[in-house]
Structure 1
Amino acid sequence: LQVPQAEVPESTLVMQVYDFNRFAKHDIIGEVRLPLASLSLQHVIEQWSDLVVASKVEEEQLGEICFSLRYVPSTGKLMVLILEAKKLKRMDSHGLSDPFVKVHLILNRKKWKKKTTSVKKNTLSPYFNEAFVFEVPFSQIQNVDLVISIWDHDKVTKNEPIGKLFLGCRATGNQLRHWSDMLANPRRPLTQWHVLQPPEVVDKALGLKSHLKLPLTSR
């Protein structure tokens, strides 16, 4: 982690321990909070700390999504089965949403391929059961990121993102584990629930290269 020197006195390192659950949200066991101002950062620190009850202050809950991954190295086929979502954030004035899912493949930090599910009307717990197949040669599988996002469809205004996550060798935590399990078990579909993250957080982590559109000049 890189923390600017000016931000160290006001920053706190938070380490949380979870009980892993493949088919539901992970349960938090406890946490340790270390104000950086109280630490001597010039040296490596090794110490035991007692876990305490996690802070009740949580980020806004955007929802969870369940999907299955399957990769066949011999044919280069990556299969993504979008199953369902639950506890989605309310986006419409009537307290519901019209969710649909976008599945992007990113190659070398540039958007490469995209698939989209159908729209499910007036629900916070949509069931999709829609499968997509991407052609990804085995030589490229280490260089791709799989980005899954849920959007609220709006006929009048612009569609709004509800939440997002990405998997691949650059991912972390639950997403990296799911991706690694898929690569370690070729041809076997692996299903898992994931917690949605704020879109801007995922976009920053991906560090996507922008596609510049040059203005046309008239002669």
Structure 2
Amino acid sequence: MHRKTLRLTVCDEDKLTHNELIGESRVPLKRVKPNQTKHFHTCLEHPPPLPSPTAMGEALRGISCYLREWENEQLHSLEERGRLLLSLQFLPPLGGEDKDVDGGGEGRRSGGLCVGVKRCAHLAAMDVNGFSDPYVKIYLKPDILKKSKHKTAVMKKTLNPEFNEEFFYEISLSELTNKTLEVTVWDYDLGRSNDFIGGVCLSCHSQGDALRHWMDCLKNKGRRVEQWHILTNELPRTLSHD
């Protein structure tokens, strides 16, 4: 049973034609414990628009469903630990051709990446009181000189923290295309090692929402792009506890 995934779909009933799929959500049953009620807050995944039900349309629908199924299986092999609202904005150098910036660039002479850590929602509880004391760390990797780490303030006893902090990396657009932004959320523990809650990596090698967010930032210089990201219990790199 723990290897199964519960699939929930929401449809628009149409008595004259086929019912239309509005969206769907999936819950890995390994996240449910016996004799324990657990509530989930999930967003519906919307199917992409496809042509009318012709032979070609049906073929495209089958391919699309297969690709979504594969991507969801890759995602749900990990445990969801909450969600993070992140904003990205590449700021061109002042005085350059790109002057249409969404704020945040005033007073900056060099171009670079502005990362906004907005807030988290439905974080996993890591403390015995049913809450966490979360904070966020970000790295821009590779980080040979180990100078890219930034941290937010710690928010006490909450699973839905509001951070609204911004961090700036001075870097060219060509250099940024070869970087990975690693964002992790931690539970602060006084006198002990901090607990890893979850994280996400954004780069040209990411998948799904992480890849789309990263590419939107690179393609739209000067524009602030916000995106919710699912935090998972594992990242492709070794995590530090500092």
Q: By the TM > 0.5 criterion, same fold?
A: yes
- Is structure 2 residue 237 aligned with structure 1 residue 203? yes
Sequence identity of aligned pairs in percent? 34
1:164 Cα shift?
0.8
1:87 Cα shift?
0.4
Cα distance change on mapping 1:108 and 1:143 into 2, 3 Å: farther
Unaligned 5+ runs, structure 1: 1-17, 31-46, 211-219
1:184 Cα shift?
1.2
Secondary structure at the aligned position of 1:183 is classed as helix
1:61 Cα shift?
2.9
RMSD over aligned Cα atoms: 3.7
User: What is the aligned partner in structure 1 of residue 44 from structure 2?
Assistant: 27
User: What is the aligned partner in structure 1 of residue 142 from structure 2?
Assistant: 107
Unaligned 5+ runs, structure 2: 1-21, 25-40, 48-60, 94-109
1:29 Cα shift?
6.3
User: What is the aligned partner in structure 1 of residue 88 from structure 2?
Assistant: 69
Q: Distance in 1 between matches of 2:215 and 2:115?
A: 15
- Contact 2:81/2:124 (8 A) holds in 1: yes
**What is the letter of the counterpart of residue 72 of structure 1?**
L
**What is the letter of the counterpart of residue 161 of structure 1?**
F
**What is the letter of the counterpart of residue 214 of structure 2?**
W
- Contact 2:112/2:168 (8 A) holds in 1: yes
Q: Distance in 1 between matches of 2:142 and 2:77?
A: 33
Give the TM-score normalised by structure 2. Answer: 0.60
Q: Distance in 1 between matches of 2:224 and 2:77?
A: 32
Q: Distance in 1 between matches of 2:190 and 2:176?
A: 36
- Contact 1:108/1:144 (8 A) holds in 2: no
**What is the letter of the counterpart of residue 83 of structure 2?**
E
**What is the letter of the counterpart of residue 118 of structure 1?**
A
Query: What CA deviation, in whole Å up to 9, does each residue of 1:132-185 have, x standing for no partner?
Result: 001112231111000000000000210011001011111111001001111111
| 1:182-201 → structure 2 map (5 Å cutoff) | 182-199=217-234, 201=235
**What is the letter of the counterpart of residue 150 of structure 2?**
K
- Contact 1:182/1:190 (8 A) holds in 2: yes
Cα distance change on mapping 1:85 and 1:172 into 2, 3 Å: same
Corresponding pairs, count = 170
Q: Distance in 2 between matches of 1:172 and 1:109?
A: 25
Give the TM-score normalised by structure 1. Answer: 0.66
